[in-house]
Amino acid sequence: MRHFFDPHLVNDVFGDPVLYVDFLEERRALLFDLGDIRALPPRKLLRISHVFVSHAHMDHFSGFDHLLRVVLGRKNAVVLFGGPGFIAQVDHKLRAYTWNVVHRYEVELVLEAREIGTDGRLQRARFSSRAGFVREPCAALELAGDVLHDEALFRVRSRFVDHGTPCLAYAVEQKAHVRVAKDRLAALGVCTGVWLRELKGAVLAGAPAATPIQVRWRDRQGEHEMNRSVGELHDLVLDVVPGRRVGYATDLCFTEANVQTLEQLFGGVDRLFIESVFLDADRDHALRKNHLTARQAGEIARRVGARSVATFHFSPRYEGREQALIAEVDAAWSGPQGGVPADAS
């Protein structure tokens, strides 16, 4: 089945955590974390409209330079989100270079940094190539609950978890949408036509049920036409489908507060991407490092009701033993439907 978006991990389980969410029909993408992104070809980097950084440890932020180098002179805008201190971190990255020629580039690049405070406020600043990437402040925004970014067809939510430092976990959610039930269309004896687009548009815009729709179509017998209302047609040929939901959580310790935060963010997600850095035999070490063990990751996946799980960010000490980590996640999760194994893609 073709989805509205397709999330995949850019690196293998021992590489830096980076999730690329490809919006197949829109020629654009979202990026979660910005560590080593060299595996992404420039054409894929150029599709990125928004980057969501969990925290600024090097394995999550060192790819900033590579992204900037690829998009500079070729793309107009990239918006980057991060936690406390993020605007200064972006500013410092930019200040590390000499920008005496970029103001002449034909394509202006504007980087917008958005910093999520633990108080629910969103500070913003912009950096334009025309001005040598000098920091320009923008008005702060008040966030609506945990919704960080909202578009017509999808939203991104986020919440802080504890990693010895505040770290953001993210959820990407396609909004509920309407789908044409082709079999019922045939049973009704009508064919597709422009009227279906009108109907979908009316439903999505919340038009009253009595709104008339002229159903017109053409087949071998010629032109046909009938008048129906939005309400009638909605029930007859449209299904409201819940949107696909994907969760991304990395770099956190296993505390009850963290698990509850993830339950609020991820309840019932279709796919959960979650770190499992250590085997549970090394759980004391995991706690000291503020990371999850594979068993803890599986337990979180079970508690949030994830329908499928992908795991990553394995410690190099387990090189050659990745199956042991995956099996441990799987055993603790053993999905709600059972039988669907955790994987690492």
Residues that contact Zn ion, how many (by CB under 5 A): 3
Do 257 and 265 form a contact (C-beta atoms < 8 A)? no
Residue 59 or 280 with smaller CB distance to Zn ion: 59
Which CB atom, from 166 or from 193, has the smaller least distance to Zn ion?
166
Minimum distance, C-beta of residue 19 to Zn ion, in the bound complex (Å): 13
User: How near is the Cβ of 25 to Zn ion at its closest, in Å?
Assistant: 32
Q: Which residue is nearest to Zn ion (CB)?
A: 57
Nearest CB to Zn ion, comparing residues 59 and 112: 59
CA distance 298 to 333: 4
Helices (H), the chain: 42-45, 58-61, 64-71, 86-95, 182-187, 194-204, 230-237, 256-266, 283-288, 294-304, 322-333
Which is it for the CA torsion 287, 289, 291, 293, positive or negative? negative
Q: How far is the CB of 148 from Zn ion (least distance, A)?
A: 20
Intra-chain end-to-end CA distance of the chain, in Å: 18
The least distance separating Zn ion from the CB of residue 277, rounded to whole angstroms, comes to: 8
Site stretch for Zn ion (CB under 5 A), options 67-75, 125-133, 179-187, 250-258: 250-258
Region near Zn ion per CB under 5 A, out of 50-58, 132-140, 176-184, 318-326: 50-58
104, two tokens: 């002449």
Contact 317, 305 (CB under 8 A): no
User: Which of the ranges 45-53, 56-64, 203-211, 333-341 carries the binding residues for Zn ion, by CB under 5 A?
Assistant: 56-64
Q: Which of residues 270-299 bind Zn ion (CB under 5 A)?
A: none
Using CB under 5 A as the binding rule, whether residue 330 contacts Zn ion is answered as no
Using CB under 5 A as the binding rule, whether residue 59 contacts Zn ion is answered as yes
Nearer CB in complex with Zn ion: 283/307: 283
In sequence order, the 6+-apart residues with CB closer than 8 A to the CB of 117 are: 84, 123
* Stretch touching Zn ion by CB under 5 A, among 40-48, 53-61, 253-261, 323-331: 53-61
Smallest separation, CB 313 to Zn ion (Å): 6
Out of 112, 251, 299, 330, the only residue in the binding site for Zn ion (CB under 5 A) is: 251
C-beta closer to Zn ion: residue 154 or 160 = 160
- Cα atoms in the 13 Å half-sphere on the side-chain side of 251: 22
Q: Quote the least distance from Cβ 113 to Zn ion, whole Å.
A: 20
* Residue number, 128 or 296, with CB nearest to Zn ion: 296
Residue whose C-alpha is closest to residue 167's, from 324, 325, 313: 313
Provide, rounded to whole angstroms, the least separation between the CB of residue 60 and Zn ion.
Answer: 6
* Least separation in angstroms between CB 55 and Zn ion: 6
**Which is closer to Zn ion, CB of 166 or CB of 243?**
166
How far is it, in rounded angstroms, from Cα 170 to Cα 51? 11
Choose between 49 and 315: whose C-beta lies nearer to Zn ion.
315
Asked if 57 interacts with Zn ion (CB under 5 A), we say: yes
| 59 vs 173 by CB, closer to Zn ion | 59
- Give yes or no for residue 112 binding Zn ion (CB under 5 A): no
Any idea which residue has 């709104």 for tokens?
211
Closest CA to 59 of 300, 285, 279, 250: 250
> 57 or 307: whose CB is closer to Zn ion?
57
DSSP bridge pairs for 168:
160
Query: CB neighbours of 202 closer than 8 A, spacing ≥ 6?
Result: 211, 213, 230
> In sequence order, what DSSP letters do the residues of 245-309 get, joined into one string?
EEEEE-S----HHHHHHHHHHHTT-SEEEEE--B-GGGHHHHHHTT--BHHHHHHHHHHHT-SSE
Residue 57 Cβ vs Zn ion, minimum distance, rounded to whole Å: 4
Point out which residues bind Zn ion (CB under 5 A).
Answer: 57, 59, 251
